[in-house]
Amino acid sequence: MVYTSLIARQRAFFQSGRTRPIEFRREQLQKLYQAIMAAENDLLSALYTDLRKSAAESYTTEIGLVLSEIRHASKRLSVWMKPQRRRMPWLAWPSTARIAPEPFGVALILGPWNYPVQLLFTPLIGAIAAGNCVVMKTSELARCTATAIGKLIADIFPADYVTVVEGDRETAEALSSEKFDVMFFTGSSNTGRAVMAAAARHLTPVTLELGGKSPVIVCADAPLDVTARRIAWGKFLNAGQTCLAPDFVLADRRIRQPLVEALNRAIGDFYGEDPQRSPDYGRIVNRQHFERLIGYAGASQHDADDLYIAPTILTDATATDPVMQEEIFGPILPVLAFENLDEALAQLRDRPTPLALYLFTKDRATQERVIAGARSGGVCINDTITHAIGWSLPFGGLGESGMGAYHGKASFDCFTHRRPVVNRSLAFDPKLRYPPARHSLATVKRACRFLLGD
């Protein structure tokens, strides 16, 4: 295959042992940190060109998060790498045991186009911290950002250690068919299935960060203005092209119309009377996605030449409409009504497991009832998106929305094999466990309770 020699060179680099010392890992993280700082303007410019992201949005949702992850990993790396002692049963006495974190080896990271800096560099940080070599595939839909990332990486790392591969879907398929030691993919569920099938041919462990239709439940006791602001912020960030974006709203029928009005007010407050002229509102990534979204939005305001679709609240959608069947991934938000919470939870149980579940209510009993009654990758109560910000919580999906998790230590764990190591003394070797059997089964059962422990 075309990438076999590249992977072989990276495997040789890994097997040399150079990536294992903590000093090396910290040095590479620091190189990455300094390079991102130096390339900040180039990255901001590329993100604006690809997605019309404002500098403030690009920094807070991409560059700032990445820099925070690097600082966190650098400070805590010695703790993460430290072997963890474990107790052994009396049957193995005398012995010591530990779990030794080991890098997988050569990792493949397949990045998406919607947050092309954050969603490529965050797993890279985990892979470097864990001591791996890395091949990264950037998305061809964010070409300017891909070029900027490729130059940044080539300037600081040898290709035998970390490298960027640019290309289209065929490139991603060719890379996925190669034998890596671990794979990490962020993208759609359909492509995630293909990546997982390719990984299965080599029994390669894979982390899938996918998406789905993340619902918002709004109960009657929720304060409408703050609820609307937080929903609108999470939905229309990056023009709705966020895997965690609220995909649809289920609102208590009593407050559905006031909520719709509050959402429209929030949109006006954020982006003005004409969001197309707002410097804080992005664009759809390409014409193909634009046409797909127009099929959902119908007569909403849009401009094909500018790849612009206005923030749109749909009030006439039903559960069987096409907009309610697939992940929207754009600035369109259906708002449906429910009569009671049981009805809302029943609707969610009939759907694939989403990446996130959002709930707005002050009532603690309702909060616990929804957490217990609806499955999701993560839960955020009285806000959107913020449960995935930063390094303190693992971020990942469940079922259709993905498998595995990352951020902070979870990123280190994602690229680490937890290797058990037992060291037993040769000085004592009772014959109890060796054949032939010397005791009755009843005696063996009693001994096992003691020798193996509870």
Q: Active-site positions?
A: 209, 243
Residue type, 430: P
Our CA angle for 341, 344, 350, nearest 5°, is: 140
> Do residues 416 and 181 touch, judged by C-beta distance below 8 A?
no
DSSP H stretches of helix in 166-283: 169-176, 189-201, 224-236, 256-271
Compute how many other C-beta atoms are within 10 angstroms of the C-beta atom of residue 345. Answer: 17
For residue 210, count CB atoms less than 10 angstroms from its CB and return exposed for 0-12, middle for 13-18, buried for 19 or more.
buried
Residues forming a β-bridge with 184: 109, 207
For the sheet containing 84-86, what is the strand order?
A: 84-86, 95-103, 416-424
> Do residues 171 and 137 touch, judged by C-beta distance below 8 A?
yes
For residue 148, report the phi and psi dihedrals to the nearest 5 degrees.
-65, -40
Compute how many other C-beta atoms are within 10 angstroms of the C-beta atom of residue 71. Answer: 13
> Do residues 307 and 284 touch, judged by C-beta distance below 8 A?
yes
Q: What is the largest CA-CA distance in the chain?
A: 87
Q: CB-based contacts of 64: which residues, under 8 Å, 6+ apart?
A: none
Residue type, 423: N
- For the chain, the first-to-last Cα distance in angstroms comes to 51
Q: Which H/E stretch holds residue 418?
A: strand 416-424
174-188 burial by CB neighbour count: b if 16+ within 10 A, else e? bbbebbbbbbbbbbb
Our measurement of the distance from residue 138's CA atom to the centroid of its chain's CA atoms, rounded to an integer in Å, reads 16
> Do residues 238 and 57 touch, judged by C-beta distance below 8 A?
yes
